[in-house]
Structure 1
Amino acid sequence: MRVLLRTLAPLLGLVLAALGVLVVLEVVAAWLRPAATRGLVVPWQDWQARLGEIAWTDTTVRIVAICVAVLGLLLVLVALLARRHDVALTAPAPAMTVGTSPRVLARLVGRHVREADDVAAATVSASARRVVVRAEGWPDDESGIGGLRDSVRGRVDELLGELPLATTPRVTVTARGRREPQ
């Protein structure tokens, strides 16, 4: 969503800037040539005559108003969904707010999980509410994949317990065994 917002903002800015340049050109042209029957670039006299014929109760006006309202609502939703989703940390003082990005939390958990001898690879995604770990490794012959999953979950729970998180996220671990030798 943030990529969409970062693309939309400059595009809308350029459109508004172009409209502003057109308005300035038309105003200057109207000052310099007051008797002109057409605008310099935009035929605004024709538009003014056409708009004078349209009533506020016409179907066209209602359709355009609904389209503009829907477009505005979509832009507001994109802006609201594009906000940062930081992971809150406990603050050292009441007047402070401390947080980190989900990417940093995922990297920290991933590095901690990959340090274990029985884990060959791990992929981690994190948010303020949930940490999802997908691990590949060499499970014990006795406990199997369940033992690998439990050991990874234990490591993640231990790490999250040590971090100063305001709320502890829910942990989901999936594990896969590797067949090649360790």
Structure 2
Amino acid sequence: MRVLLRTLSPLLGLALAAAGVLLVIEVVAAWVRPGATSGLVVPWPSWQAALSDLTWSDGPVLVVSVCVGVLGLLLLLVALLARRHDVALTSPTPAMTVATTPRVLARIVGRHVRESDDVAAATVSASARKVVVRAEGWPESDGGTGSLRTDVRARTEELLSTLPLARTPRLAVTTRGRKDPR
């Protein structure tokens, strides 16, 4: 969503700037040519004649107003969804706010999980509410990956308890055994 917002903002800004330039050109042209019957760039008199017959309850006016309202709500929704989703950390003083990104939290957890000798590979995704760890390891002699899951969960919970997180996120761990030898 942030990419969409970063694309829409300059485009809307350019459109408003172009409308402002057209307005300035038309105002200056009206001052320079006070008796002119048409606009310099935009045909204002013909637009005024066409719009003078419309009332607020006419169909085209209602359709345009609903479309503008829906477009405004969509832009507002895009702006609200594009906010940063930071992970809050405990602050050293009440006057200070400390946060990190979910990507940094995922990298810290992923590096910590991959340090284990039983883990061959791990993928971690994180948010302020949840950390998801997907680990691959070598199966135990009994063929299951149950101890790998408990080991990864224990290591990750230990790490999360040592980090200065304002709220400890939920932890979801899935593991899968590798077929190839160590």
Q: TM-score range by the shorter chain?
A: over 0.9
How do 1:59-74 residues align onto structure 2 when only pairs under 5 Å count? 59-74=59-74
Correspondence for 1:153? 153
Q: Residue 31 and residue 68 in structure 1: after superposition, are their counterparts in 2 closer, same or farther (change >3 A)?
A: same
- Rounded to whole Å, the distance in 2 between the matches of 1:156 and 1:110 is 9
TM-score (norm 2): 0.96
Cα deviation code 1:13-60 (max 9, x no counterpart) = 011111111111111111222222221111111111111110111111
* Aligned amino acid, residue 74 of structure 1: L
Deviates more, 1:26-35 or 1:6-15: 26-35
Gaps of 5+ in 2: none
- Rounded to whole Å, the distance in 1 between the matches of 2:153 and 2:18 is 56
The alignment's C-alpha RMSD in Å is 1.1
Correspondence for 1:42? 42
TM-score (norm 1): 0.96
How do 1:54-93 residues align onto structure 2 when only pairs under 5 Å count? 54-93=54-93
- Rounded to whole Å, the distance in 1 between the matches of 2:24 and 2:155 is 65
Correspondence for 2:14? 14
Asked if residue 144 in structure 1 is aligned to residue 144 in structure 2, the reply is yes
Gaps of 5+ in 1: none
3-state SS, counterpart of residue 122 of structure 1: strand
Correspondence for 1:110? 110
Q: Which ranges of 4 or more aligned residues in structure 1 deviate by more than 4 Å? A: none
- Rounded to whole Å, the distance in 2 between the matches of 1:93 and 1:102 is 23
Give percent identity, aligned residues only: 72
